Chains A and B, each alone.
Chain A
Amino acid sequence: MATEEKTFVGAAEVMDVEIPIQEMFLNMGPSHPSMHGVVRTMVRIVGERVVWADIEIGYLHRAFEKQCEAQFWNTAIIYTDRLNYVSPIINNVGYCMAVEKLLGITVPERGEYFRTLVSEVSRVADHLTNVGAAVMELGAFTAFLYTMKAREWCYEIIEAACGARITTNFTRVGGVMADVPAGFEELVRDRVKQLRGVVDEFDKLMTRNRIFIDRTRGISPVTPEKAVAYGFTGPLLRAAGIPYDIRRTHPYSIYDQLDFVVPTGTTGDVLDRYLVRMEEMRQSLSMILQCLKQMPPGPVNVMDKLITRPLKTNVYGNIEGLMNQFKLVMDGHGIKPDPGEAWASVEGGNGELGYYLVSDGGDGPYKCRCRAPSFPLVQAMKEMIVGHMVADVIPVFGSINYIAGEVER
């Protein structure tokens, strides 16, 4: 062995020595466990502090708009499922509201109640997935299992309403796909009770957890002015202290008849975003029960043969029903709104989910634009992580609820 003399420096001496720190480039993704979906985050770090960041998205660009332009008004609904695949029903509702605005029709009240009820279930599923995944990335795997267990109950309700768990295709232009199934009310009451239990359990497990608070409090606080300038909507804007919730400020559907509170935070940090989401889940669960209670009898679809498809018993049972079905599904027939454009927005899981549709008088959308709520959030993430530790990238990213299908469409 080479006999090279080595001098070992004691700890006290190290403290005085200035350690030269080099700037380092760190790449996370595109395939990274803490990145929900595929997104590439590039950061420059000095020591552990992020000094520069850039985000590259587009790995799940599936050409939603181009695909919808080749579809009919009703068949484009399936692509809206796959935008925000955590709360697909809200997407369905938003798209159908825009088409209904173009057509100038209103959905019967029972249909609106049914849509709202299932939307709120979907919102609970969205928030459960978000808070569960966010705390899992901070190391709390047990809490994630709790929320996934609860999410299955949400899926049970959604499955009873439309037959699918995730990609629901629940609404139709002018209503919903089917009336409320038998035994739905008992199922919902039962599951809401269980969901409440899980939310409380999760609350006990996480909200006062020392590690969780240390990792999230004061991380990437956003002032109200900045939040508005960045184009935030939804839980992040409310966490910054602005009570902007479309269900309250621009009430659509039957939200003006429901009693709910719009929770707001104070500092807009990661902890506030979590707390806002937790409270919203409770509000949603209470709204579900209110919908059940207030739901009137009657039809769920518009009674217009040019818009609503006939019942399957009529399609297979008599010639009028068969002709009606044909006229609605054949190329060049079907629903034809007048030329024009419409914007409709709903409160999605991450904020204002808007649809901008242009009709050229044809049987499908000429232009179908989705305003994804998490797109501006991901845009602002650059500013939100600069100046923080590299380990804080994960909670910030978890709190903005990046849904690749929606951001990249």
Chain B
Amino acid sequence: MQELPEYLSVLKSRFGDRIEEIHAQHDDATAVVKRDAIVEVCAWLRDDEKTLFDLFLDLTAVDYIGRKPRFEVVIHLVSIPFRHRLRLKVRLDEDDPVMPTIIPVYPASNWFERECWDLYGIKFDGHPDLRRMFLQETFVGHPLRKDYPIAKRQPLIELRKSEVRRNDESVEPRPA
């Protein structure tokens, strides 16, 4: 375990048990935040003069199938003045994959949240326009979940011939 950067300890002391866990594996400062606190934590991180995480980089999710809670939403932030990086995580249960939107704090997260809804089926509470990002509206299911078969296609038009390849068994997802 690497040494924790200062801003991570400050974050932990500011929010107490609403931060579930902090660590700095591979030098990446990480904080696991409770779902209800995420907007507040983001707003504080952006505005506090010791942290100033002003640039939103990324929002994605990971599907740890078989683990409880199943989903983890991962947010990456960077501070331009201090050159810090931070990863925030929110753990979400399989039965209730809903998270408050962080658009009020980081407007750039709009499309990232739509993408996350599209591919992982995680709902963002309060998102103004939660449509699918990449796939067609008629698509059934959320393809980046580990239980969606990789080669299950949903064509929009009548096809002239079969799409099954000779080695299609081999592209089934590996057992987790």
Contact = CB atoms under 8 A, between A and B. Distances in A.
Nearest to A58: B134
Interface in B1-40: 25-28
Nearest to B175: A362
Given A231-B106, A340-B25, A354-B57, A66 B150 contact: yes
A343 B87 CA distance: 9
Contact of B108 (A229, A249, A343, A358): A229
Query: What is the size category of the interface that chain B forms with chain A?
Result: 35 or more
Contacts of B80: 228, 242, 244, 249
B35 to A, nearest CB: 20
A342 interface: yes
Contact of A228 (B54, B87, B135, B150): B54
A52 interface: no
Contacts of A233: 55, 57
B121 interface: no
- The CB with the most chain B CB atoms within 10 A, among A231, A369, A371, A409, is that of A231
A408 B26 contact: no
Contacts of A379: 108, 110-111
A342 B58 contact: no
B28 A342 contact: yes
Contacts of A367: 62-63
Contact of A231 (B56, B83, B87, B176): B56
Contact of A102 (B26, B60, B119, B134): B26
Nearest to A364: B174
B74 A70 contact: no
Contacts of A61: 134-135
B126 interface: no
Interface string A99-126: 0011010000000000000000000000
A104 B174 contact: no
Query: What is the size category of the interface that chain A forms with chain B?
Result: 35 or more
Interface string B48-84: 0000001111101011000000000010101010010
B111 A352 contact: no
A229 B107 contact: yes
Contacts of B25: 340-342
B43 interface: no
- The CB with the most chain A CB atoms within 10 A, among B56, B57, B85, B136, is that of B57
A69 interface: yes
A380 B108 CA distance: 8
A58 B135 contact: yes
Contacts of B58: 354, 356, 369, 371
A360 interface: yes
Nearest to B84: A250
B143 interface: yes
The 5 residue pairs across chains A and B that have the minimum distance between CB atoms: A231-B108, A58-B134, A61-B134, A371-B58, A379-B111
Interface of A: 57-58, 61, 63, 65-67, 69-70, 101-102, 104, 228-231, 233, 242, 244, 249-250, 340-343, 345, 352, 354, 356, 358, 360, 362, 364, 366-367, 369, 371, 375-376, 378-380, 408-409
Given A101-B27, A230-B108, A341-B25, 6 more contacts: A58-B132, A58-B135, A345-B57, A354-B76, A367-B62, A408-B134
